Chain A
Amino acid sequence: MSESPDVKVAPWTGPQRPYDILKEGTIALVVVAILTIGLAIVFSSPDDPQVTVQQWSTKAPIDFAQTALSELNGTSGTAQYGAPYNTASPGQKLGPFTLAKWLGATIPVNTVRDFVIDPLTDQPPTPTLSAALAQWKGAGAGQRTAWLDAYTKASSKMTFANGTVSVPTTAAGPVPVMINSLEQMARSGALDQALVTQSGFYTSNYTLPLLFLADGSYLGDLAQQRHLLGSQWGMMNETGSYPGQAWLWLYTFWYQIPPFSTSTNADVEVSAVMALLSVLLLLVPFIPGLRSIPRWTRVYRLIWRDHYRSQSA
């Protein structure tokens, strides 16, 4: 057992003063309650309305159609994510450790099936859509890739007019009808429903629509306007001028500086740094040096100034 003054202290045998713990607790509770009510009355709280796929496809139809295409041709963020959604990428590495990959694709997401084909299949069939879907389902992988390549190549000239998405190509097979039908479905609000109800009537899981939304630019643009991007220290920010999760300042700080600001493994690296720092904070009483700073800084002389004064008297 260490004899260091940073570890040991003799039990107090000196004088006591009266102390009413219940009164103290009651006063504190009343003060905090009044302060809370006051702040709530004066400042209220933020509630920016949720974004729907319907709103997204209405306000930014091209962004929605391009995102739908990226889900089909496998270039979207979700399609290339890796664990836990799929095996398309090994995911982030912490040195030699691919933690996410080890735990596996436990929340499987197939962007072609889940974001495009299944929702379209659930639609009331129209002859055009039924034919397109049949053509898609009947084609081999090579044919599908050829259609998608043709559509993707022409997609930089994508236009949206009179509620219809158009791309100048004739070699894309059923893809134009599929993208356009998904756009119609999204604008009607039906896709919002289809994405959450794939597991049935009751739902509380928004993994699919949130991933789809996050693959587009619309949500991120709204976030940028609200200063919420990761590069804007957004993790600790709140919508409007409200204080946010200020206690995340250190976590979001690491993302701003090298090597993390330029690392492709920033997320797992910052998580590791924060885990390490949390353990250090936890173990402060056992770490020589770190536990001596209070004695060295002598802030305690201020806190206990009466005690030391009475001792020296």
Chain B
Amino acid sequence: MAETLLAALVSLDGTGHYFHWHWIDISYANLTVIILMVVVFVVALFLPFPGRRNKKETR
């Protein structure tokens, strides 16, 4: 029972897929991780931080 519960819901065990362009050759898994890192970084830069507005209101 526990074994089936703990098995992956989305299996990533199949053959990997790769982004291949000239000498660049990267798995979509790694590419996703790297793009996600850049996205999270940019979002963290632009997303308003809570408390900012409050500060202005209390001023």
Instruction: Using CB atoms and an 8 Å cutoff, list the residues of chain A in contact with chain B.
Output: 17, 41-44, 46, 226-227, 232-233, 236-244, 246, 249, 256-257, 299, 302-303, 306
Q: For B8, what are the chain A residues with a Cβ–Cβ distance below 8 Å?
A: 41-44
**Number of A-B residue pairs with CB-CB distance less than 8 Å in the complex they form:** 78
Write the B11-45 contact mask toward A (1 if CB under 8 angstroms, else 0): 11111111000011111111011100000000001
A246 touches B34 (CB 8 A): yes
Q: For B15, what are the chain A residues with a Cβ–Cβ distance below 8 Å?
A: 240-241
B23 touches A243 (CB 8 A): no
Q: For B51, what are the chain A residues with a Cβ–Cβ distance below 8 Å?
A: 17
Q: For A242, what are the chain B residues with a Cβ–Cβ distance below 8 Å?
A: 12, 29
Can you list 9 A-B pairs with a CB-CB distance of less than 8 A? A44-B12, A46-B13, A237-B30, A241-B29, A243-B27, A249-B30, A256-B24, A302-B46, A306-B55
B45 touches A227 (CB 8 A): no
Q: For A244, what are the chain B residues with a Cβ–Cβ distance below 8 Å?
A: 27, 29-30
B18 touches A227 (CB 8 A): yes
A257 to B51 Cα, complex, angstroms = 49
B30 touches A243 (CB 8 A): yes
B12 touches A233 (CB 8 A): no
Least CB separation from B34: chain A residue: A246
A173 to B20 Cα, complex, angstroms = 51
Q: For A241, what are the chain B residues with a Cβ–Cβ distance below 8 Å?
A: 12-17, 27-29
Of the residues A233, A240, A302, contact of B26 by C-beta under 8 Å: A233
Q: For B2, what are the chain A residues with a Cβ–Cβ distance below 8 Å?
A: none
A204 to B54 Cα, complex, angstroms = 60
B12 touches A41 (CB 8 A): no
Of the residues A42, A226, A236, A299, contact of B9 by C-beta under 8 Å: A42
Q: For A44, what are the chain B residues with a Cβ–Cβ distance below 8 Å?
A: 6-8, 11-12
A240 touches B13 (CB 8 A): yes
B32 touches A226 (CB 8 A): no
A306 to B52 Cα, complex, angstroms = 8
Residue in A239, A241, A243, A246 with the greatest tally of chain B CB atoms within 10 Å: A241
A233 to B34 Cα, complex, angstroms = 15
Q: For A238, what are the chain B residues with a Cβ–Cβ distance below 8 Å?
A: 16, 27, 29
Instruction: List 10 tightest A-B contacts by C-beta distance, closest first.
Output: A44-B8, A241-B12, A243-B29, A240-B13, A246-B30, A243-B33, A241-B16, A256-B23, A233-B25, A302-B45
Q: For B46, what are the chain A residues with a Cβ–Cβ distance below 8 Å?
A: 302
B10 at interface, CB cutoff 8 A: yes
CB distance from A219 to the nearest CB of B (A): 18
B29 touches A17 (CB 8 A): no
Least CB separation from B9: chain A residue: A42
A299 touches B52 (CB 8 A): no
CB distance from B58 to the nearest CB of A (A): 11
A46 touches B12 (CB 8 A): yes
